Structure formats: structure tokens, C-alpha cells
Amino acid sequence: MQTKANGKVSNLVKGETGDWEIVVGMEVHAQVNSKAKLFSGASTAFGAEPNSHVSLVDAAMPGMLPVINEECIAQAVRTGLGLKAQINLKSVFDRKNYFYPDLPQGYQISQYKQPIVGEGEILIEVDGESMTVGIERLHLEQDAGKSIHDQSPDSSYVDLNRSGVALMEIVSKPDMRSAKQAQAYVSKLRTILRYLDTCDGDMEKGNLRADVNVSVRKPGAPLGTRCEIKNVNSIRFIGQAIEVEARRQIGIIEDGGTIDQETRLFDAARGVTRSMRSKEEAHDYRYFPDPDLLPLEMTQDYVDAFKAKLPELPDEKLARFTKVFGLSPYDAAVLVAEKEAANYFEQVAKGRDGKLAANWVNNELFGRLNKEGLDIEHSPMTAAQLGGIVDLIASGTISGKIAKDLFEIVWAEGGDPAEIVETRGMKQVTDTGAIETAVDAIIAANPDKVAQVQAKPSMIGWFVGQVMKQSGGKANPQAVNDALKKKLGV
Amino acid sequence: MSDVTRLTLADAREGLKKKQFSATELTQAFVKAIEAGNAALNAYVLPTPERALKQAAASDARLAKGTAGPLEGLPLGIKDLFCTAGVRTTACSNVLGEFTPTYESTVTQNLFDAGAVMLGKLNNDEFAMGSSNETSRFGPVVNPWRRKAASGALSNTNLVPGGSSGGSSAAVAADLCLGATATDTGGSIRQPAALTGTVGIKPTYGRCSRWGIVAFASSLDQAGPIAKTVRDAAVLLGTMASYDPKDSTSVDTPVPDYEAALGRSIKGLRVGVPKEYRVNGMSPEIDDLWQRGIAWLKAAGATVHDISLPHTKYALPAYYIVAPAECSSNLARYDGVRYGLRVPGEDLIDTYERTRAAGFGKEVRRRVLIGTYVLSAGYYDAYYLKAQKVRTLIKKDFDDAWSKVDVVLTPTTPSPAFGFGEKAGDPIAMYLEDIFTVTVNMAGLPGISVPGGLSGQGTPLGLQLIGKPFDEATLFSAAQVIEDAAGHFHVDNSWWVGAKG
């Protein structure tokens, strides 16, 4: 839905009545990386037998009381710092009251009026242009359990393993104007969380999920009525959901209708959004401060200690990669998207040509990993091995073409690249005597081609190819070229 | 051996130490007393004699070995609001069904760790909501005290034992235990103590752990003992109180030796008498009681000062917003899904509705509805938020008072024990039972009720002392002075023995 006008990217969407602007805000639920739940000592491990990670508190047994898990607080503070956000030294946990079988207490403990983290920002880049998306707030809350409806014809089951697991709800400002921007926002947020190690960002497991608020308006008009699309669980679906929802809203308005504020679900199989509940059906959550928990108070020193130990974040790393290694912003951005990839690259680039290293990591390695469906942590080739290949190229020991063959061998068989080059005779031939002998032989065998090249000097390429073929690709192409030019007089 | 059930807890402790009787003998005496008297009084909803005798035997072994704890072998009753591992706990509500916890509340664990013996679970108003113990699923508790005509003839009219800890107060007053645990959200320890001639203390909020106590209103609930004497109350609270990391509102401050405070001189103690407690229509006998209390403290060297607690009149209305609001949320977990009662319905919502309609009694339903209402969108600011502001002002009233006085003296209740049904039909009349006690919960302060005399009809009346936060020791010192002056009040006719329920 993006058009280019006057060379500038426009995010406006064409409708029957003219251009429309999409406005997107996001509420991302990120599961906190912690061993234990937000208010109980039960484990947060994924994939256990149903109801095996449930404490008395999680099951809301009579007389049970929540006690804050300090590690979850620390993770929220780290995340807030990573989002360059205001850390609120005093915050309050509230009860959000509603009935559902997977909510044992009959209320979710969340933060309503006084969240632990206030306003912050995230820098994103779309189509080569940078923009800032504002963060409204981050608060901590309990996850609910899971209702299972497909195991019995007449009953539903409840698994409380997730009940009470800590979530960070990260709310953006309605600063995004396209599906692409929204996708870039979630990707960048995910990257930051993974750098901070405060959320694993695993969307498949539901450890990161997004509620997407979409509205449309004529450019310059006030904000339109928004619909909230709940629980979108992949970056691709976020893009699709925004596009179809914006189209739906534009269609309604252009047909003379109005948008109802409501909660909708994205049906990925059918590529539509469906109404879940309207504003009238919305719950009255009867928020009030949880009397079982005192207000959470932290000192500035406590926060500053986390600030001092914050790891290098993607924006800083990108700046360093372009400055120290001379990488293009694009190459650097690809590398810093995943902390593990950036670390891998740094090992390859250490003491070597950074640009050459980036090329090999970004093109050969990532291309091959993608093809095999592997992530960088499961790469069969270590950074030391790829570094060895880069060394052999840089020293002129092998040609770029041989390097690709070598890459395949190391990928498939492992081993030390230098040793492989040695034992398999893959070294580049720069011995001019040997090259000249080969050149002489080709010239002698092809008098017709020699005649043709006099008329058309670009024919020299054919001779180069023949010599290279005969050398098994090991001849130094520059030396072959020089010798041919001299002998053929072109 | 004379009737050991008549002993105070402190005297029974002495008797065990001196081997005048064994823990087993002591426990057996109570088991028999319960067998004989509980049908008429209905104080226990679940006597646990076998468990009690087992605990007593273990106590005897420890007494013999010299490893006895501070409460070794002393038989107590436990309010059914305290979760007791392996023993049915219902808060006297149908909604909990036959719920049997796998865990022990911190307060009862403290008692058992000290060697105490549990005789059984005691009756209370459903979820501790009530002031007469008439809302229990197990039926009402009967006050051992009866009115006396001028001729001295005992009336046959059953009186309420107060509430919500009516089982605790009746059991202590009738010698069916040496002491009992209780809880107090708006007066539920002090009011029943006053109506039964017993001593009850609600400690400072945060002094006893709430972990494992069925919650009514989290910001107001506190556990405390009901006992025969001030000394017994001091002994019991000393063991019940502790810092508990499992309760975020528990306060990490050492528990003093309360018993050591008994007999301490109160010379120079500044006693405040708040004019706002002199409510309209206060009966002359309550006023007389109050004046007697003032005179006793003065005689012991205290100075008495008129003080003002100007926001007192707002305390009860604010309490009846805050407490129901918290209860509406705290009781949401009783939904028929995981434990307790489930009444299956057509669908989920129907199941919730049937379960909660059948599970909760009328008073509980009333409070859940009030609480849901005051927290609703559009009403929150006008009710809940305003009530919390009132609460802050009530706290401030006391903070201001503490610059002038050390304790505050008031009557515990506006009237002596009343008959069944006299107030049950009128919620406001029932709520007014708490008029002198709720301020203490709203401010989170300690308050003790100690018997001060008998009404014209021969039923007990209580005086309340309110103290500074965590200054329970001073309350015990002053309460001891009142007790010494007023004397003990014991029912002189054990009409319930062998009587039918």
C-alpha cells in the first residue's frame, strides 16, 4: 500500500474518495525472562505437563497472597532503560477484575494508573528513512492460564502453567502510519528486548504478542475511531492485519458508514478481521489498587545500578559497526538485528577487513542459513572457520570463486580452511611461468579465435575462461589477463 | 483434680510445668466439655478430638524431655477462617464446600510450632461478615451469657456472642478452650470479646501474617486472640505475631515480650477520651462504664485528656465502602472452577451464577454487590477514592492525637449482647455494632477490648483501648490495670452443659 510520489515515499492509501492515512498504535505483551512467576515461586518453563508449574498462589487457593518477584522488577527496569524511558520510582499494582476459568483469582494483577515505566522511544528505519516511535508506558502484569476447548466434547480444560507468569505490556503512541512502520516497530522492539535479555521474543510460543490499534483518517483530519486487533502473533500477520483492517475501515466510511470502536480478531487463514466484542460489551474491570501489595518503591541508586550494567544496544552497535568497520548502514543494520549475528560478525571481523567479513557473513553465511532454515546459534560453521576463509581471500591464497567452493566444503565437512586448501591443492596459481605456458598452449590451439580477437578485443574473455578452466580455477585471473594481453597484443 | 477447663491459659501452663496434670488430661477435659456443651452453643463447627489428643501426647513427650515450647500442651480453638492443613476449612460458607487445605496458615503454624493443641474449628459469620455470628452456614452461635431478671432469675432468651468471631468468644467464655484465634476487620475480635466478658486484641495491621487466612478485606483484616485474661491474650499474641515474607503487608519488626508489659506501672500514661465517641443515644450504662474506666486508669496514675478525632463520624460509612470493595474482589475466586461448591449450569456464566447464588449467604451477597457497585466505572471516584481519602483523614486524626496522648479509651460497643434476630433484619443497626471499633481498622492501629463490668441485665460490657502502631505492649499494661480493677467476669451458670442445640 505504498506509493512513490515525487521520489518521496508516501504512506497514503488510495480510496474512492481520495487519499487516506492509516494510524497505528501498538500494545505489545512481552513475557519477562525470569525463572519464577511475577508473584509466586512457580517455574515459568515452557512446554511442561499441564498444571505442573502451579503454586497455591497461582491457583488462587483461599488465603494465598502475592509477593513480588524482584527479578521481574529488575527486568522491567532494564527494559525501560533500553527504551530510553522514564523509570517511575513509585508504581502501584492494581486488580483488574473479571471472571474467566483461566483467571483463578477472578482478577489480574496489573498496573493501571501508576506503571513502573513511563514515556520512552524507539528509533526505527523504513525504506531508508529513520523515524521515532514514542513509547507511552510499560507496565507489569500477570498472564492468565490457558483454556483448552478441544479435548472433550462437553468440557473445557484449564492449564494454569502460564497463570501468573510476568508480562510487560509495552504501549506505543499512535505514531505509525503504515503496516511497514508497525512491522519495523515490533521487529526493533523485539531486537531491543533480546539484546537486554528481558524477553526471548519468541512469537511462536506466544512470548511476544501484539494488540494492534488501527484507525484511518483523511490527511490532516483528527484521529478516526480505532479498532483493536487482539493477539496478533507474527510480524507478517501484523502487516496483513493492518492492511486489511485499514481497507475495511476505508470501505465502511466511503460507503457512508461509521466505525464502531471494538475489539477484533485477525483471521489469517481467511485474511480478514472479525469482531470480537463491541465497546458496549466491554468489561468494566473495576480497577483498584491491590490491597495485598504495597506500592512498589525503588531508589534512584537501584535504577542507576542497572543503567551502568546495560549492554550495548542495537542503535549503538550499528553506529560502532559503521564507524569502526566502515560498514554501510544497510550491512550494519542487517548484522545488528540479532545480537547473536552481531557477535558472530565481530568474531569474524576481529583483526580482519570488516567489510569483507560483513560480505561473507551477510551474503554467504546468512544466505546459506536461511536456505537450511537454521539460526546463527546453530550454524555448522564457526566464526573462526569463516574468519579462516576470509584470511585466505585477503592474503590472495585463494580466489573469490575458490573461496565459495571452500565455504561449501567447510559447511558440509567442517575442518580448518587453511588445511583444506593445502591438502586439496586449492591454492591460487600466481606463477607467471606456469600461466604463460598455459596461455601459449591455448593460443596455439585456437588460431581462428586469435584472428577474431584482433578485430574484437573483448573476445579476450573467452581466452581467460579457457585458461582458468585448464587451471581448475586456481590461476590468478589478473595474471592470466595480463599474460594474454601481452601475447595477443590487444 | 478440679475442673481444669476453668483455668486461665497462664495457670494451665503453670499446671503443666508443675506436672499437676498432663497435656493429655488437660485436652481430654476440653474434649469432654465440648462434647457436653457444643450442641447448645454451636461454637465449634468441627471439633477435632483425635488430632487434639495426638498433639497432646506429643506435647507430653516434649514436656517430659524438657523440649517444651512456650504454649506446649495448651488446647486452643481455631476460627474457621484460618486454613489448617488436612482439616476442613470453610470460612463458614457453603461456597467452600468440604475444602480441606494442604497448607497451614502462618498464625496457626506459629501456635503449633510453640506446642499448642487444636481442639477444632470455631464458628464465625460467613467470611467474617457480621456482628452476631448469625450468618454462618453452620447456624448461629449462642452466647453462654444470659440476661438476668432483677430477681436474679436467668432468662431463657438466647443472646448472640457477637461476631464475626462468635465461635471464638463463646468457646472462651464457656471454657470450651483455653483461648482462641480470631480475626478482626471492623471489630470482629473486640466486639465479640466485649459481649462475652473475654479479652480480645486486634494488633497493628501487619503484626500478624495474613497468609493462609481466608481474606475478607485485605487492607483491614488482622488476626488476634480472644482469651480469658489480659495475660492470656498477651501470651497468645506473642506467639501468633511474626514477620512473614509470604505476606507483603507484614511488617518486619521484632515481637516484644508482651507478658513482660503486664503489671508495668501506667503512672504518667496519657489517656485520651475522644468526644466524638459520645454518640447520640448512648445508653447511661455504657457511659457509666466509660467513666469507671477513666477513674480506674486515673487511680493507677494515668492522666486523662479530652481529645478530638473529628472524622470519626465518617469512619463507618467509609468502612462500608472499602471493606465491601475489597471483599467483592477477594471473593471472586470462589467461582466453582477449582475447589469448593460447584452448581453446574447451562453454560459457564450460568454455572458461575448458580454456584455463587447457592454458595454465598445473604449478607455476603449484599456486600459483594455493594463492593462491585462502588468500584464500577463512573462510581469509583465518588465512592472508593473518597472513602480512601476519609481513611487518610482518620489516620491523621490519630496521628494528631498521639502528640497529646499515649492511648485512647472508649467503650467497645454501643450496647451489650442482644437477642437473635433483633438486628439481623436491619443491616444498618447491625453495622452500628462496629461504630467504636472500625476506626481502629481504618487507621491500622492496635485495639484491645477488656471486660469492664456487667450491664443492668447482668451481661458483659467491654472497654476498648486504642494504641499507637506496634505499641501493643502499652495496651496490655493499661488493660491489665482495668482488669485488676474490674475483676473477672465468668458465667455463673453452665446451663449449656448437656443441653440440646
| C-beta separation of A475 from A484 below 8 A | no
Which residues in A36-75 are b (16+ Cβ under 10 Å) and which e?
bbbbbebbbeeeeeeeebbbbbbbbbbbbbbbbbeebbbb
Interface predicted TM-score of the whole assembly (ipTM), two decimals: 0.96
**DSSP H helical segments within B175-311, as ranges?**
190-196, 230-240, 284-299
pLDDT for the residue numbered B254: 97
DSSP code, position B458? S
What is the set of domains in chain B, with CATH numbers? Answer: 4-148+158-268 (3.90.1300.10)
Q: Is B79 a catalytic residue?
A: yes
User: Does B245 contact chain A (CB < 8 Å)?
Assistant: yes
| Best A55, A65, A67, A294 residue to mutate vs chain B (most B CBs within 10 Å) | A65
What are the cell numbers at B5?
477447663
Maximum separation of any 2 CA atoms in chain A, in Å: 100
User: What's chain B's Rg over C-alpha atoms?
Assistant: 21
Of residues A35 and A283, more confidently modeled:
A35
Query: Average pLDDT, stretch B280-291?
Result: 90
d(CA A27, CA A363): 34
Q: Which amino acid is at B25?
A: E
User: What is the distance of C-alpha A178 from the center of its chain?
Assistant: 18
| C-beta separation of B60 from B73 below 8 A | yes
Strands B270-274 and B117-122: unpaired
To which residue does cell 519464577 refer?
Answer: A36
Q: How far is the CA of A260 from the CAs of A26, A263, A271, A334, in angstroms?
A: 19, 9, 20, 40
pLDDT for the residue numbered A9: 61
pLDDT for the residue numbered A423: 87
List of E strands, A251-407 = 262-267, 272-278, 288-289, 296-297
| C-beta separation of B336 from B351 below 8 A | yes
Query: Average pLDDT, stretch B194-211?
Result: 98
Q: What is the pLDDT of residues B311-361, one digit of tens each?
A: 999 999 999 999 999 999 999 999 999 999 999 999 999 999 999 999 999
What is the Cβ-side half-sphere exposure of residue A425, based on CA atoms within 13 angstroms?
Answer: 4
Kindly tell me the sign of the dihedral angle through the C-alpha atoms of A157, A162, A167, A173: negative
Residues in a beta bridge with B168: none
User: Does A65 contact chain B (CB < 8 Å)?
Assistant: yes
**A286 and B337 in contact by Cβ < 8 A?**
no
**DSSP H helical segments within B214-311, as ranges?**
230-240, 284-299
Q: Which amino acid is at B252?
A: D
d(CA A105, CA B137): 23
Could you check whether the bond before residue B455 is cis, i.e. omega within 30 degrees of 0?
no
Task: Please state the domain extents for chain A.
Answer: 12-306, 312-423, 432-488
pLDDT for the residue numbered A456: 86
Nearest residue in chain B measured CA to CA from A282: B377
**B101 and A62 in contact by Cβ < 8 A?**
yes
User: Does A292 contact chain B (CB < 8 Å)?
Assistant: yes
| C-beta separation of B87 from B49 below 8 A | no
Residue B352: list chain A partners with CB under 8 A. Answer: 99
Q: Is the pLDDT of residue A47 over 60?
A: yes
Looking at the partner chain, which of B217, B245, B333 has a beta carbon nearest the beta carbon of A60?
B333
- Residue B396's pLDDT band, with cuts at 50, 70 and 90, is very high
Nearest residue in chain A measured CA to CA from B336: A101
Q: Is the pLDDT of residue A444 over 90?
A: no
- Residue A430's pLDDT band, with cuts at 50, 70 and 90, is low
d(CA B428, CA B208): 30
How much helix, strand and coil, in percent to the nearest 5, is found in chain A?
40, 20, 40
**DSSP H helical segments within B331-469, as ranges?**
348-359, 362-375, 386-401, 427-431, 438-443
In chain A, pLDDT over 70 holds for what percent of residues?
97
Query: Average pLDDT, stretch A407-425?
Result: 91
DSSP code, position B154? B
Q: Give the CA angle between residues B380, B386, B388 to the nearest 5°.
A: 100
| C-beta separation of B436 from B448 below 8 A | no
To which residue does cell 567442517 refer?
Answer: A414
Residue of B410, B447, B437 whose CA lies nearest to B294: B410
Query: Average pLDDT, stretch B461-489?
Result: 98
**B380 and A62 in contact by Cβ < 8 A?**
no
CATH architecture assigned to A432-488: Orthogonal Bundle (1.10)
Query: Average pLDDT, stretch B151-159?
Result: 92
pLDDT for the residue numbered A8: 54
| C-beta separation of B489 from B450 below 8 A | no
Q: What is the pLDDT of residues B66-75, one digit of tens each?
A: 999 999 999 9
- Residue A275's pLDDT band, with cuts at 50, 70 and 90, is very high
Q: Mean pLDDT check: name the lowest of A225-229, A280-284, A296-300, B372-376.
A: A280-284
Residue of B395, B388, B397 whose CA lies nearest to B321: B388
Q: List Cβ neighbours of B460 (8 Å cut-off, separation of 6 or more).
A: B145, B194, B195, B196, B197, B416, B417, B451, B453, B454, B489
Q: What is the pLDDT of residues A174-227, one digit of tens each?
A: 999 999 999 999 999 999 999 999 999 999 999 999 999 999 999 999 999 999
Q: Which amino acid is at B213?
A: I
User: Does B105 contact chain A (CB < 8 Å)?
Assistant: yes
Residue A68: list chain B partners with CB under 8 A. Answer: 248
| C-beta separation of B122 from B78 below 8 A | yes
Q: List Cβ neighbours of A126 (8 Å cut-off, separation of 6 or more).
A: A9, A178, A180, A181, A184
Burial class (CB in 10 A: 0-12, 13-18, 19+), B264: middle
Catalytic residue among B79, B228, B423, B468: B79
| C-beta separation of B343 from B310 below 8 A | no
**A104 and B348 in contact by Cβ < 8 A?**
no
What are the cell numbers at B351?
454455572
| C-beta separation of B148 from B457 below 8 A | yes
| C-beta separation of A114 from A127 below 8 A | no
Looking at the partner chain, which of A65, A158, A284 has a beta carbon nearest the beta carbon of B377?
A284
Neighbours of A448 (CB within 10 A): 7
Residue A146: list chain B partners with CB under 8 A. Answer: none
Q: What is the pLDDT of residues B90-99, one digit of tens each?
A: 999 999 999 9
d(CA B69, CA A421): 81
Residues in a beta bridge with B411: B463
The minimum CA-CA distance between B91 and chain A, rounded to whole Å, is 10
Looking at the partner chain, which of A66, A99, A292 has a beta carbon nearest the beta carbon of B332?
A99
What are the cell numbers at B448?
484491645
User: Does B352 contact chain A (CB < 8 Å)?
Assistant: yes
Catalytic residue among B132, B164, B168, B328: B164
User: Does B397 contact chain A (CB < 8 Å)?
Assistant: no
What are the cell numbers at B37?
456443651
d(CA A84, CA A92): 21
Residue A63: list chain B partners with CB under 8 A. Answer: 83, 101, 105, 210-215
Residue B247: list chain A partners with CB under 8 A. Answer: 65, 67
Nearest residue in chain A measured CA to CA from B385: A288
What are the cell numbers at B24?
493429655
Q: Give the CA angle between residues B229, B231, B236 to the nearest 5°.
A: 95
Backbone angles phi, psi at A445, to 5 degrees: -85, -10
Q: What is the pLDDT of residues B5-50, one digit of tens each?
A: 999 999 999 999 999 999 999 999 999 999 999 999 999 999 999 9
d(CA A103, CA A101): 5
DSSP code, position A410? H
Q: What is the pLDDT of residues B254-283, one digit of tens each?
A: 999 999 999 999 999 999 999 999 887 788
Q: Is the pLDDT of residue A72 over 60?
A: yes
Looking at the partner chain, which of B214, B245, B326 has a beta carbon nearest the beta carbon of A291?
B326
d(CA B124, CA B168): 8
Q: Give the CA angle between residues B167, B173, B179 to the nearest 5°.
A: 70
pLDDT for the residue numbered B398: 98
**B335 and A106 in contact by Cβ < 8 A?**
yes
User: What is the distance of C-alpha B83 from the center of its chain?
Assistant: 16
**A97 and B329 in contact by Cβ < 8 A?**
yes
User: Does B212 contact chain A (CB < 8 Å)?
Assistant: yes
User: What is the distance of C-alpha A43 from the center of its chain?
Assistant: 27
Neighbours of B16 (CB within 10 A): 23
How much helix, strand and coil, in percent to the nearest 5, is found in chain B?
40, 15, 45
User: Mean pLDDT, chain B, as a whole number?
Assistant: 96
Residue of A401, A417, A398 whose CA lies nearest to A409: A417
Residue A284: list chain B partners with CB under 8 A. Answer: 376-377
Query: Average pLDDT, stretch A117-129?
Result: 95
Q: Is the pLDDT of residue B402 over 50?
A: yes
pTM of the model: 0.91
Backbone angles phi, psi at A21, to 5 degrees: -115, 135
Torsion of CA A111, A100, B368, B169, to 10 degrees: -90
User: What is the distance of C-alpha A181 from the center of its chain?
Assistant: 13
**A62 and B83 in contact by Cβ < 8 A?**
yes
User: Mean pLDDT, chain A, as a whole number?
Assistant: 92
pLDDT for the residue numbered A1: 47
Query: Average pLDDT, stretch B391-419?
Result: 97
Q: Give the CA angle between residues A81, A87, A90 to the nearest 5°.
A: 150
Q: Which amino acid is at B50?
A: E
Catalytic residue among B59, B132, B188, B449: B188
User: Does A105 contact chain B (CB < 8 Å)?
Assistant: yes
Strands A272-278 and A288-289: unpaired
